[in-house]
Chain A
Amino acid sequence: MKVTHVLGHNSNWNVDSYLGQNIGDYFLIIAFSHGINYDSKPLLKKVLDVSMIDLQFYGKNTDIQTGKLTEFSFHTSNINTKENTNVYFEKCAQQAIEFQIEKNFKNIIIPLFYENDEVNDIIYAIKTLNKYISKLDNKNHKFFMTLPLANHIIIDKDKIEEILFVCTEMDICFDGYFIACENKPETRKKLTTDIKIFKNLTRVFKTLKQQEFETIYAYANWDAIIYLAQTDIDYITIGTYENLRNFDIKRFTEDISGGGSKGYYFSEKLLNMVRADDVTMLNDTGNINIIKNEKNIFSDIILKDGYPWNIHKPDVNKNYLFTISKILQRVASISDLEFRKEYVLDLIDKAIKNYNYLEENRVYLNNESSNYHLNIWKTYLANS
């Protein structure tokens, strides 16, 4: 498993943490943020040989914030009309593949034009692009087909089977799949607690792995550990800002960026993000050690009393990158899947105990800082 940095806004934090603290193994360049000249940026040049690029064919110019996507001449964001054929989108995807080959990416992400469509459109794209790849007869690159699983798809096991059925046909020649899943967490929550999503997304990863495909879990949040607990995943992305950790079709079709924030502290002991204000309260009540990450320089810095919390501070974000990458690496290093699951269940148990301890000491965390997710994780994993 390769921990993969998502390079969006403030990519320097990711690259610095990779070069300086050895965090992560690979990079996913976001076309929206970096545009056509990504490879002339000194920062990105340092990691190009361990990078792939998501060209993000999510929506047309008429519907989305395009960022730097329109810099790519073949990009679907250049489409100004409502009416375009599947054949046109296929051509765009083919040019996107050629572009990545020319740029010498080892892992080619095949973009799939997507606007929250029905399963049949995805299936059509998979079949036609598979034919294209089979004719390329290119053994020097690995080809990953994008599977953008919108919320209405991931909650429906029949739709998932229809897609997996086509993805695993005998004539499929992709090396793997690039999976982005729209989890749609509830308001004031960062993670989904929908057990249908746990079940179906687990099945996606398990089935593709069992059928010997490589898998990339793109725009993953820290709940990736419950999927990794049950099957190997070849690449799992870690991202700083929330839009890099939470795939949302809407994010590409309308502007839903939020306002400023003091930021969050990701705690390995709670398996959760704790709001900056709650961190202050934990400090004030003498309970900070209950959530404090061990052997983590970034954590040490930001937990100092009086730290000027801000979402745009590098240490706040690097704390997450360091902590989640350590957890993912530890989980992935357990080759026996039964032991691996037990290990993750144990992590969850300890986190629940820590929450309970805080409550016994009359410290109550609310909203996203609270334990809204661990019980359902535990129930799901223990019974899976």
Chain B
Amino acid sequence: MASIELTKELLKHFNISEYKQANPGGQKTVFIVNIDNKKYALKIINFADDRFEREVKICKQFDDNKGIPNIIGIEPFEKNTIIIEEYIEGNDLSELIKDYKGNEQKISQLIYATATILIPVWNAKYVHRDLKPQNIRIRNNGEPVVLDFGIARALDDESITATGVQPYTWPFASPEQYSGQKNLISYRTDFFCLGIIAYYLYTNSLPFGNNRGEIYKAFQDDKLIVNSGNEYIDTFCNNVFKKNPSERPRKIELFLKLIEL
């Protein structure tokens, strides 16, 4: 990734004393900035489309949810839109996967806590659609925070990506995302993705293949059965790894019960 410099005008306008570029997230550029001796995430949106508006809407709607970052401010600057967001001290889950290897207790707690954050989101008929270790930040006290609702979908609205390719991150996507069946996307898509994360954390490998082609091929089978070597992880995963979303847990409580150790 090429590093991007913030302009002097921007630094001055937002009173930023220090900054560094964070991992890229889809269509936005993210910086960790220091304003008045406090760290924030600063996102530069080059083109503020419906996805951006949706992310802002979701974050604001769930402002009191400790597991979703607070938005401090949104402001147009020059030709871009700038979001200043709560900075979560800690690490991306993707940096910590070795700590979870073989530890079903820790994985259970993490998936349970992540799902608990998402309960009000799912109940409000949103679906994240892009759950992956890079989008789960672990606070220093171990609590997770779910990031990047950029491709979240409101199930009651016409999707912003109603036609054409549906966005997803290939290692952590569900069969309905691979097959582009938009009408089958729901909270149960997130259940499937959380299953992949659980398996990935336990084994440090992906359950259905190491590239798009392998995973696509695996998803052609009607039955998706995995064997991680751990009975608890397998029971959880094989209950959510149903190719047909209709066969995955119907109620959030059932999903939580499955992951509870």
B258 on the A face (CB < 8 A): no
Q: Is the CB of A168 within 8 A of B184?
A: no
Question: Across the interface, which residues of A come within 8 angstroms of B257, CB to CB?
Answer: none
- A167 at interface (Cβ–Cβ under 8 A)? yes
Q: Which chain B residues border A168 with CB–CB below 8 Å?
A: 246, 250
- Identify which of A141-149, A157-165, A220-228, A368-376 touches chain B: A157-165
**B244 at interface by CB-CB < 8 Å:** yes
Q: Is the CB of A164 within 8 A of B246?
A: yes
- A20 vs B260: C-alpha distance in the bound complex, in angstroms? 53
- Indicate whether A207 reaches chain B with its CB closer than 8 angstroms: yes
**Contact between A207 and B252, CB atoms less than 8 A apart:** no
> Among B184, B247, B251, which residue has its beta carbon within 8 angstroms of that of A170?
B251
| Residue with the highest number of chain B CB atoms closer than 10 Å, among A161, A170, A207 | A170
The reply to whether B246 and A207 form a contact with Cβ atoms under 8 Å apart is yes
A164 touches B250 (CB 8 A): no
Given A165-B184, A165-B186, CB of A170 within 8 Å of CB of B250: yes
Q: Say yes or no: is A210 at the interface (Cβ < 8 Å to chain B).
A: yes
The yes or no answer to A211 lying at the interface (CB within 8 A) is: yes
Provide the residues of chain B in CB contact with A210, threshold 8 Å. Answer: 247
Write the chain B residue with the least CB distance to A161: B244
Interface SS of chain B: helix, strand, loop or mixed? helix
Q: What is the bound-complex CA distance between A211 and B239, given in angstroms?
A: 12
Task: List the B residue with the shortest CB-CB distance to A208.
Answer: B246
CB within 8 Å of B: which of A140-198? 161-162, 164-165, 167-170
Mask: chain B, 231-258; 1 = CB below 8 Å from A; 0 = not: 0000000000000111100111000000
B126 within 8 A of A: no
Asked whether B252 lies within 8 Å of A170 as measured between CB atoms, the reply is: yes
Partner of A165 from the list B122, B245, B251, B252 (CB cut-off 8 Å) is B245
Return chain A residues, CB-CB under 8 Å to B122.
170
B245 lies within 8 A of A211 (CB): no
**Chain A, interface SS category:** helix
Total contacts A to B, CB within 8 angstroms?
Answer: 32
Contact A170 B246, beta carbon cutoff 8 Å: no
List, in ascending order, chain A residues with CB within 8 A of B250's CB. 168-170, 211-212
Residues of A within 8 A of B252 (CB): 170
Q: Does B141 contact A (CB under 8 A)?
A: no
Q: Does B183 sit at the interface, judged by CB under 8 A?
A: yes
Please report the C-alpha to C-alpha distance between residue A59 and residue B106 in the assembled complex, in whole angstroms. 57
Minimal beta-carbon separation of A234 from chain B (angstroms): 18
Tell me if B172 counts as interface (CB < 8 A to partner A).
no
For A162, the closest partner residue in chain B by CB is: B183
List chain B residues, Cβ under 8 A from A207: 244, 246-247
Known: A170-B251, A170-B252, A211-B250. A164 touches B244 (CB 8 A): yes
Say whether B199 faces chain A, with CB atoms less than 8 Å apart.
no
Instruction: List residues of chain A with CB within 8 A of the CB of B192.
Output: none
Docked CA distance A170–B253 (Å): 10
Residue B200 is within 8 A (CB to CB) of chain A in the complex: no
Roughly how many angstroms separate A162 CA and B246 CA in the complex, as a whole number?
9
Nearest A-chain residue to B179, judged by Cβ: A158
Q: Are B184 and A162 in touch, CB under 8 angstroms?
A: yes
Query: In the assembly, what is the distance between CA of A212 and CA of B183, in Å?
Result: 23
Q: Once the chains are docked, how many angstroms separate the CA of A203 from the CA of B223?
A: 13
Query: Digit string of B20-36 for contact with A (CB within 8 Å is 1, else 0)?
Result: 00000000000000000
Q: Given A170-B251, A170-B252, are A165 and B187 also a contact pair (CB < 8 Å)?
A: no
Residue among A169, A207, A210 with the most chain B CB within 10 A?
A169
Min CB–CB distance A320 → chain B (angstroms): 34
Output the least CB separation between B113 and chain A (Å).
20
CA distance in complex: A170, B190 (Å): 14
A161 to B247, CA, bound (A): 9
Complex contacts, A167 vs chain B, CB 8 Å: 246
In the bound assembly, the distance between CA atoms of A165 and B245 in angstroms comes to: 6
Q: Mind listing 5 A-B residue pairs with CB under 8 Å?
A: A161-B244, A165-B186, A165-B246, A170-B251, A170-B252
Closest 3 CB pairs of A and B: A164-B246, A211-B250, A168-B246
A161-B244, A168-B246, A207-B244 known; 11 new pairs, CB 8 Å cut-off, are A162-B183, A162-B184, A164-B246, A165-B184, A165-B244, A165-B245, A165-B246, A170-B187, A170-B250, A170-B252, A211-B250
